[in-house]
Structure 1
């Protein structure tokens, strides 16, 4: 197994342009969380000659992106999720804990963490999670098939265009001349992360000031926080999790002055109770969905009424432990109804509601662990001898302008007196509208070639198919082009009902990476098999539908058709599906190969049995078994990505897993 890590860029006539005979290439654009995890999954399951190229533009984001990258965090930034829920492999919930406690190299960790034992409910510094990603990638490289290689490249991808049944990925390296290189690729996975931060109109007078931090996650931003004077007054625009990160960056840098967190609604994330346990509720279908027409007024009033009903039904007391987690649990329970709501409403109304109530949705969908929220909340309250330093402003900003020869910034509000501050930190989030992406790569994909189109109902991200395939301007699937990461946030809302930060949470993204990587490998393997390309989207969610679809293509006359469906379903449930799950859950390549052989041998025997029992030709039997294998594998991946199964642990950490009381208990 060979790996080329941060290799010197080569000339366009060199190895960048050509692949070895018989070797296919997958290029992953972006080596943050989503790109790295997609590469790990490709390395796990590729079993024929393949070159994986992992291209990253900013070394400080490699293996972590803006959420966990070296360039965007410090050791005070914590994951807002417990250690027991951050595994990279959904099928192995204990993987992170085993790595952190038994495998991780702690030599570079602060003393506070060097002797820390991680448990299910622990918090985790983001930099540790980045190291986990990097080491799991190295492990996947070492364990991969001998003919599967990984090349890690540094450069900015600015163009992807179709050529000869595949694509050519063009990127400029990080050298002083920015030499352009080309990577012919059979499949391309775009893992480009977030678009650039929102630049509100009221920033136009201060956008070039050294007193304005436009992107708190940019390379060098932590140094800019260090440059803030300890007693300076800082205005943070926006009140979501990025605002909490900004406060933590300031406190970590020694800041003790006044911090103003400003948003239009003044909404702020809550803080989880000390003994918080995640739980999944079910609620009734909100009555307002029975309305013949869902207008914004009907939806807003309906949600308010149903929320009040549920608070009363559960006996939620203000300030109670349940009150702190109640909004999050309700919004999770409402995900199926969000799907229905979005599908029935006018797209313009959907976008208006998501924009108008963005802050409320984001802050109610998730609270913060105490190691994050407590930093902000304690400074909002103050203590005897420790003054209050953080204040939340519910106000609309009209303008900002430099004053005192640019040494300070005057902030003009629409509904309250001006304030003068020393610094401003932009925490309004990132642009989500791919109609105006502001990046040459996406400008070309959307407007130049029409390989992608903005997500139609939400205008958040791009339109994708079931497995992350890009949807073109004319509504067809772009063959061989996939997306993973924040670009799929609108699809997560319309397809799965997710809102707030859960449209790109760890759980959401690891599901995407697993599913997309498996689909990429299936398409590489069956590139010449048109039958595999004809499988309808979504039928793999149900083995009954899968079996019915296969049988309908082979036999139309009863009673043989019914008997064939029953035979296919029984074999899928009792044999093929368990074998597929064993293959996907295997610990290493040797174990995966063993279960792959078991699966293949069993399906071959089953195909021969079908031919004998139903008088099928060899070609018909082969087709039936091939389609069954694909659909069962898809179903296994779908099942392993089911969040409701995450607590079903069978490991040394299982005894630490508690289950929150259900309603009424």
Structure 2
């Protein structure tokens, strides 16, 4: 449970402190990873401002969901640890306390393809955090606080995190920290200009995930009409919330493009395709017109090549498989196009991109689609309107809202729900903490290529206004969405999906711990970005630092590569995939002892000085660990399952079929 309010109690002498700001999904998972792998005195402070979001954030928190809100991903793919894909299923079926679950779920047996209520996923996060804290190194502790972080600033080689506690006595406190991980979630919801006349009306809901939103849905009259602005997943969640509250009236989902998520077939299996580099990328200049026409032509060509028929099961999953296959080409597009053009295209085609990048599971999409059709004795209650809203205004003493459209008749409804998504521009954020970080201290800057989120390094390090890395200040979560697009080609909800955030939290936590270990190590060098993706490049870089004399350099490179592939990498994987602290400690000792022996062999074989050998081994250990983390986070690789669920898993996805 969170600590009671009070001033910083101070960590034990010699204990470092990492403060994680935000205890939603990303903050909780980052803390879990820190607890897993910290092996020296460390206090992890986890601060959350809204108790209803603790452990789950907006997506999975108790305040923002009900028991009918499902994860839009199958149970076999939502583990917190990619190296243990069966972890969620084992927890849900063998460990979870089901006493607070509705009867529908109390006796449910979860399998790989099951859907999962988001509230169950929140419980999974909370219990895995408690388990990680209990299993952590004796001198590694977790401290949970409740309060609003209002400032983070450099001080004495670290940072001071200032927060206003949420206790009855209030108070503002300073928390000295060696490293800070910002896991603040989304910015505030977008409010369009046409919302300004109704934004203070009790009949307008600005945020369907806000604390109290579920009470608002329950207050909607059963036969009242509701207009939803926006057609992405939040609109689907809104329909689910209304239906769960007993609503039977008309719902109008309105967006300018009229795009809507598809619904996965009941027997849907996720697959990863490969696609050739689109021909339009050969153009000398990538203008918006060239890109739009090129994508349309290539998409049509791929539909014909794969034989996609209207209404077929393949049609429901075809767009997202193509967009996944195109991720390498999105990276090229963003790197070659003018940043203003990139932003314009992302804004203009946002709805199409979002709805094409993912469909919905039957338990979500079916709620909407079935009500769009209607049945004998169950009339159609959901319509989709493709139109641009011009204005909204209260009428009839504020009991109804008139919606004015561009080029079509007005509509009068009882309620309006805003589902236009969240703000993404950090240049002038209305979030006080981020406004201070960007515009006050200059510790962060808006993402350059897409202007979505903030600029970060390869492990989530914030890039300051002057282009330097803000040492020991990291971000995980939606503030990295622009980086996910420009660095990995991800679009739509996949810029902050479970898989994406799971990788960010793992990688950032390991980088935080590495920096804590090497903070006083003068032999550590700045490692170039990206070389850890390849053990050959890593080995070549280390060898070049020691010698350029041939044939000695060649022999040294071969020796380093051989060790990295045959012993270093397997040892690192064993350590990272161990199930508990006892196993991790065992494999850590094996790894360290083996590295020490290898360092002694290097010194003897190549006549290296003790500092040279020590530095070579330290760098190799760092790069091998980075490569192992990168490998475990590779979304195209399915980990092998060694459990009762192994028979339900497809080990190798089919290509192009």
> Scaled by the length of structure 2, what TM-score is found?
0.99
Name the counterpart of 2:143: 151
**Once the 2 structures are TM-superposed, how far is the Cα of residue 8 of structure 1 from its aligned partner?**
1.1
Does the aligned pair in 1 maintain the 2:271–2:655 contact within 8 Å? no
Does the aligned pair in 2 maintain the 1:543–1:635 contact within 8 Å? yes
Name the counterpart of 2:574: 582
**Once the 2 structures are TM-superposed, how far is the Cα of residue 10 of structure 1 from its aligned partner?**
1.1
| Residues in 2 aligned to 1:472 and 1:632: alpha-carbon distance in whole angstroms | 28
Does the aligned pair in 1 maintain the 2:354–2:493 contact within 8 Å? yes
Structure-to-structure mapping, 1:63-102, within 5 angstroms: 63-102=55-94
| Residues in 2 aligned to 1:531 and 1:269: alpha-carbon distance in whole angstroms | 53
2:342 to 345, 350, 353: 350
Does the aligned pair in 2 maintain the 1:551–1:561 contact within 8 Å? yes
**Once the 2 structures are TM-superposed, how far is the Cα of residue 178 of structure 1 from its aligned partner?**
2.9
Name the counterpart of 2:251: 259
Q: Per-residue CA shift, 1:119-145, capped at 9, x if unaligned?
A: 000000000000000000000011000
Does the aligned pair in 1 maintain the 2:84–2:639 contact within 8 Å? no
Name the counterpart of 1:637: 629
State the SS of the aligned residue for 2:39: coil
| Residues in 2 aligned to 1:633 and 1:257: alpha-carbon distance in whole angstroms | 56
**Once the 2 structures are TM-superposed, how far is the Cα of residue 610 of structure 1 from its aligned partner?**
0.3
| Residues in 2 aligned to 1:649 and 1:295: alpha-carbon distance in whole angstroms | 46
1:451 to 443, 455, 460: 443
Name the counterpart of 2:235: 243
Name the counterpart of 1:558: 550
How many residues of Structure 1 are paired with residues of Structure 2 in the alignment? Answer: 657
Does the aligned pair in 2 maintain the 1:461–1:488 contact within 8 Å? yes
| Residues in 2 aligned to 1:262 and 1:382: alpha-carbon distance in whole angstroms | 19
Does residue 609 in structure 1 map to residue 601 in structure 2?
A: yes
**Once the 2 structures are TM-superposed, how far is the Cα of residue 492 of structure 1 from its aligned partner?**
0.2
Does the aligned pair in 1 maintain the 2:272–2:655 contact within 8 Å? no
Does the aligned pair in 1 maintain the 2:564–2:624 contact within 8 Å? yes
Name the counterpart of 1:370: 362
Name the counterpart of 2:6: 10
* Residue 515 to residue 285, structure 1, CA distance change in 2 (3 Å): same
Name the counterpart of 2:396: 404
State the SS of the aligned residue for 2:174: strand
Name the counterpart of 2:559: 567
Does the aligned pair in 1 maintain the 2:274–2:656 contact within 8 Å? no
State the SS of the aligned residue for 1:154: strand
* Residue 245 to residue 178, structure 1, CA distance change in 2 (3 Å): same
1:133 to 102, 125, 133: 125
Q: Per-residue CA shift, 1:548-607, capped at 9, x if unaligned?
A: 000000011000001000000000000010000000000000000000000000000000
Q: Which runs of 5+ in 2 are unaligned?
A: none
* Residue 664 to residue 461, structure 1, CA distance change in 2 (3 Å): closer
1:112 to 104, 115, 118: 104
Q: Which runs of 5+ in 1 are unaligned?
A: none
| Residues in 1 aligned to 2:640 and 2:295: alpha-carbon distance in whole angstroms | 33
**Once the 2 structures are TM-superposed, how far is the Cα of residue 176 of structure 1 from its aligned partner?**
3.9
**Once the 2 structures are TM-superposed, how far is the Cα of residue 648 of structure 1 from its aligned partner?**
3.1
* Residue 586 to residue 494, structure 1, CA distance change in 2 (3 Å): same
State the SS of the aligned residue for 1:645: coil
2:411 to 419, 429, 433: 419
| Residues in 2 aligned to 1:100 and 1:408: alpha-carbon distance in whole angstroms | 45
**Once the 2 structures are TM-superposed, how far is the Cα of residue 19 of structure 1 from its aligned partner?**
2.5
Q: Per-residue CA shift, 1:383-441, capped at 9, x if unaligned?
A: 01100000000000000000001000000001210000000000000000001210110
| Residues in 1 aligned to 2:638 and 2:46: alpha-carbon distance in whole angstroms | 29
State the SS of the aligned residue for 2:636: helix
Name the counterpart of 1:482: 474
* Residue 137 to residue 201, structure 1, CA distance change in 2 (3 Å): same
Q: Per-residue CA shift, 1:245-271, capped at 9, x if unaligned?
A: 000000000000000000000000000
**Once the 2 structures are TM-superposed, how far is the Cα of residue 532 of structure 1 from its aligned partner?**
2.9
State the SS of the aligned residue for 1:155: strand
Name the counterpart of 1:166: 158
State the SS of the aligned residue for 1:644: coil
**Once the 2 structures are TM-superposed, how far is the Cα of residue 647 of structure 1 from its aligned partner?**
5.0
State the SS of the aligned residue for 2:231: coil
**Once the 2 structures are TM-superposed, how far is the Cα of residue 533 of structure 1 from its aligned partner?**
4.6
> Scaled by the length of structure 1, what TM-score is found?
0.98
2:327 to 305, 310, 335: 335
